[in-house]
């Protein structure tokens, strides 16, 4: 099929799809008046019964915690997939280039970049840990804080020498952290069965609203997800970067 014919067919189908979608969207409830009873119940349950002030994180880790288990495993599998796809190529040349890469040095980054990196890494790390730990209280949670922490590690790579960072970063430690995070979430989910209630139930003591340890299992799950997301994102980025690093610079 020629590109021209494909374009005409594509535009025609898009117009038909657009008409159908606009018709469908016209039947939704009025903008500004959500109809679901869940919308009224969820904040009430979160605040009064579970002592969690951030209703969204409470819903993510408590009411719909099983959903989040699947989502965390998606991230785990994506890191696995990227490693499988990109590591296979590395082994074929690893033998010949490993020795050569040792002697080659990456290009030295400018002093301004290294100074900026050194200054920013500490605050970004602290911000990431703060966002992960305060997931139950203020906007934040495991995912946002986890990617922030991975960003801090990426900053080290971007501001430092390429070859030096590769020697320093232990890939095995990141893989173990990934597995530990995923396993911790699953263990907390099974803990409900151990305590005699349904799985994924909130079994830890619910502290006072507004303190750091409120909400039972919600901050624990937030930290587990934070560790897992940091490790998974670092793995994915390191797979893409290692390809370049192994080649060295001519």
Partner 1 sequence: MFAYMVAVWLLLVGLYGVITSRHLVHLVLCLGVMQASTYVLLLAIGWRAGGQAPIFADISSRTPVVDPVVQALTLTDIVVEATVVAVLLALTVQAHKRFGTCDPDALGALRG
Partner 2 sequence: MSTLQTVCLVAVAVAGTATVLTRDPLRQTVSSGMFGLTLAVLFLAFGAPDVALSQIVVAGVAVPVMVLLALAKIRTDERRSEE
In the complex, the residues that contact partner 2 under the rule CB under 8 A are 31-32, 54, 56-57, 131, 139-141, 143-144, 147-148, 150-151, 154, 233, 236-237, 240-241, 243-244, 247
- Contact between 73 and 226 under an 8 Å Cβ cutoff? The reply is no
Residue 195 CB: number of other CB atoms within 10 A? 11
155 binds partner 1 (CB under 8 A): no
Is residue 240 classed as helix, strand or coil in its secondary structure?
helix
The distance of closest approach from Cβ of residue 122 to partner 1 in the complex, given in angstroms and rounded to an integer, is 25
- Cβ-based nearer residue to partner 2, 86 or 206: 86
Q: Closest by alpha carbon to 108, among 161, 50, 148?
A: 161
Whichever of 49 and 102 has its CB closer to partner 1, that residue is 49
Give min distance, CB of 89 to partner 2, in A.
Answer: 10
- Taking every pair of C-alpha atoms in the chain, what is the biggest distance, in angstroms? 67
If DSSP codes are grouped into helix, strand and coil, which group holds residue 17? helix
Shortest distance (Å) from residue 191 CB to partner 2: 25
- From the list partner 1, partner 2, none, partner contacted by residue 48 (C-beta under 5 to 8 A by kind): partner 1
* Helix 142-159 and helix 111-133, axial crossing angle in degrees, nearest 10: 170
Partner from partner 1, partner 2, none binding residue 64, C-beta < 5-8 Å depending on class: partner 1
Which of these segments, 52-60, 161-169, 187-195, 198-206, binds partner 1 (CB under 8 A)? 52-60
Burial class for 4, CB neighbours closer than 10 Å (0-12, 13-18, 19+): exposed
**CA of residue 193 relative to chain centroid, distance:** 27
**Is there binding between residue 39 and partner 1 (CB under 8 A)?**
yes
Contact partner, 25, from partner 2, partner 1, none, Cβ < 5-8 Å per class = partner 1
Is there binding between residue 94 and partner 1 (CB under 8 A)?
no
> Rounded CA gap, 163 and 104, in Å?
8
| Contacted entry of partner 2, partner 1, none for residue 113, CB cut-off 5 to 8 Å set by kind | none
């Amino acid at each position: 099929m020629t590109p021209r014919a494909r374009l005409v067919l594509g535009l025609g189908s898009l117009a038909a799809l657009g008409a159908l979608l606009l018709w469908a969207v016209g039947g939704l409830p009025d903008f500004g008046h959500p109809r679901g009873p869940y919308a009224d119940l969820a904040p009430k349950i979160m605040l009064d019964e579970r002592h969690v002030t951030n209703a969204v994180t409470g819903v993510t880790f408590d009411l719909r915690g099983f959903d989040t288990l699947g989502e965390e495993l998606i991230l785990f599998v994506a890191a696995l997939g990227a490693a499988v796809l990109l590591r296979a190529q590395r082994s074929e040349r690893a033998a010949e280039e490993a020795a050569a890469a040792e002697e080659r040095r990456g290009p030295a980054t400018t002093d301004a970049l290294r100074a900026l990196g050194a200054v920013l890494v500490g605050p970004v790390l602290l911000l990431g840990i703060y966002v992960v730990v305060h997931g139950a209280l203020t906007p934040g949670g495991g995912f946002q804080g986890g990617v922030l922490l991975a960003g801090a590690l990426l900053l080290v790579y971007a501001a430092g020498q390429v070859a030096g960072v590769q020697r320093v970063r232990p890939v095995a430690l990141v893989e173990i952290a990934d597995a530990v995070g995923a396993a911790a979430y699953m263990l907390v989910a099974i803990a409900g069965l151990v305590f005699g209630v349904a799985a994924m139930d909130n079994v830890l003591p619910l502290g006072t609203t507004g303190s750091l340890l409120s909400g039972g299992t919600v901050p624990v799950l937030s930290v587990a997800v934070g560790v897992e997301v940091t490790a998974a994102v670092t793995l994915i980025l390191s797979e893409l970067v290692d390809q370049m690093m192994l080649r060295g610079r001519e």
